[in-house]
Amino acid sequence: MLGESQDGPSPEGDHPPYPVGLRLAGRRVVVVGGGHVAQRRVPALIAAGADVLLVSPQVTPALEGLAGEITWEQRRFEPGDLDDAWYVVAATNDPHANELVSTECERRRIFCVRADDASAASAWTPAVGRHAGLTVAVLANREPRKSAGVRDEIMGALQDGTLSARATHDRTPGVVLVGGGPGDPALATVAARQALASADVVVADRLAPRELLDELPAHVELVDVAKLPRGRSATQEAINDVIVARAREGKRVVRFKGGDGFVFGRGYEEVLACQAAGVPVSVVPGITSSIAVPAAVGIPVTHRGVAHEFTVISGHLPPDHPQSLVEWGAVARMRGTVVLLMAVHNAGAIAEVLVAGGRPASTPVAVVVEGTMPEERTVLTTLGALGADIEAQSVRPPAIIVVGDVVAVARPEHYPAPEVVVPERTSHAAGDAPAGAAGGTGQD
């Protein structure tokens, strides 16, 4: 028989906890303690809309940063703090203080979790994950590592589609323009995977991560753009036609692209085509190869004191081409990083105009071929030798060409040390960036 006891919660015996979803919007939740446990719990409580009262003489800087969204009483706990509470988190590092809170909760019949002693608590916090409007909560019998592990497996399976939550997917007809990242399927976003899992039709580019397409269920129609008839504009019209036609048939169409769909991806042409046809269209941003591919081989596009700008340029036209929209002379006069896409063919000519315009021929250059993919390789060279090295090393697209001293920062064994200009610390007006932010303190 389980009975009430004055000196603590009822013994649980072997009874499993009874799961429930608390709807805390607008309801008072009291968090006692301002350390790392509170720091993990409070953001989730805020996200649930709870009216959080935090009681603690000291709090972590992260909690202090939340002060505008919660009420913080900077003192020790008093029983009156529980007056309007629906739910309580006892998370001090002092077991006696937690005991005091949970005993008072027990007396008032308020459920209370305890950071120090789950067996003495009336409620437990599950390991939580969220996916496409689903909340996954896992409780292992007071074994947080186990519950987190199971939660991670469920979340992973939901995200990669191994575990299908089809009933929860958005099935509205229309087109979703999805950026798939640079190639490694691990660099596709959760939103990209969700969109793929909800598709009736997937129209995929050559550079979209192929491995994710293998995971598509058999009923999904796959249109491979690489196999459409050749010729750039004809291909684009055919793509526009197919996405609009399928959406008009009531299908949910995912237009799946490499990197980000709006970075040299002709994505906005497809948005316009959908709008012109009256077909609903939405956009899932992707991780663009222009930043991610250099990062994946350890090259930063900016570095404090070395590069305060980076410019991403399409090199698909040679510099002297009448339709070129790039001011190569201006680019040559800048000192920051230049990231060239679609530039393998014209690399030599581009290097020449950059040198002619003032960039030293010794400027370090990295050519990253098939970045983040199994055949990835990096060719290190200089602006002066770029054209010849592309030939000599048989570089073929897709490749990203990174021009600038950041390459020397990342490959010091290969290049002389670059000049580093460390900004002096200056005071800024209130509300401005922290001193030295132009060089990237990384604090924002």
Determine if 270 is a binding residue for ligand SAH (CB under 6 A).
Answer: no
The stretch among 11-19, 137-145, 262-270, 355-363 that binds ligand SAH (CB under 6 A) is 262-270
Positions in 412-441 near ligand SAH (CB under 6 A):
none
CA distance 87 to 21: 12
The stretch among 8-16, 261-269, 351-359, 405-413 that binds ligand SAH (CB under 6 A) is 261-269
Nearer to ligand SAH, 38 or 401 (CB): 401
Binding to ligand SAH by CB under 6 A, coded x per residue (else -) over 40-79, reads ----------------------------------------
End-to-end CA distance of the chain: give it in Å, rounded.
Answer: 57
- Interface residue with ligand SAH, options 115, 400, 407, 409 (CB under 6 A): 400
- Interface residue with ligand SAH, options 95, 397, 436, 440 (CB under 6 A): 397
CA distance 16 to 443: 45
Nearer to ligand SAH, 116 or 205 (CB): 205
CB of 179 to ligand SAH, least distance (A): 7
CA distance 298 to 96: 49
Nearer to ligand SAH, 102 or 290 (CB): 290
Determine if 209 is a binding residue for ligand SAH (CB under 6 A).
Answer: no
C-alpha atoms less than 13 angstroms from C-alpha of 224 in its C-beta half-sphere: 7
* Cα–Cα–Cα angle for 193, 270, 286, rounded to 5 degrees: 35
The stretch among 133-141, 221-229, 371-379, 422-430 that binds ligand SAH (CB under 6 A) is 371-379
Q: Is 205 a catalytic residue?
A: yes
Structure tokens of 278? 């009256």
- Interface residue with ligand SAH, options 81, 116, 260, 270 (CB under 6 A): 260
Q: Which residue is nearest to ligand SAH (CB)?
A: 259
CB of 344 to ligand SAH, least distance (A): 7
What Rg, from alpha-carbon coordinates, does the chain have?
28
Residue 179 is which amino acid? G
Percentages helix, strand, coil for the chain (3-state, rounded to 5) are 35, 20, 45
Determine if 372 is a binding residue for ligand SAH (CB under 6 A).
Answer: yes
- Interface residue with ligand SAH, options 371, 404, 418, 439 (CB under 6 A): 371
Binding to ligand SAH by CB under 6 A, coded x per residue (else -) over 167-186, reads ---------------xx---
Contact 153, 164 (CB under 8 A): no
Three-state SS for 353? helix
Determine if 398 is a binding residue for ligand SAH (CB under 6 A).
Answer: yes
Nearer to ligand SAH, 147 or 372 (CB): 372
Contact 367, 396 (CB under 8 A): no
CB of 264 to ligand SAH, least distance (A): 4
Alpha-carbon distance values, 66 to 63, 71, 85, 349 (Å): 5, 9, 20, 53
Collect all residues with Cβ–Cβ distance below 8 Å to 31 and sequence separation of at least 6.
38, 41, 42, 45, 52, 53, 54, 55, 56, 88, 89, 91
Q: How many other CB atoms are there within 10 angstroms of residue 153's CB atom? A: 14
Structure tokens of 106? 């027990």
Three-state SS for 436? coil
Structure tokens of 139? 């409780």
Catalytic residues, by residue number, are 205, 227
Which residues contact ligand SAH (rule: CB under 6 A)?
Answer: 182-183, 207, 257-260, 263-265, 288-290, 293, 341-342, 368, 370-373, 397-400
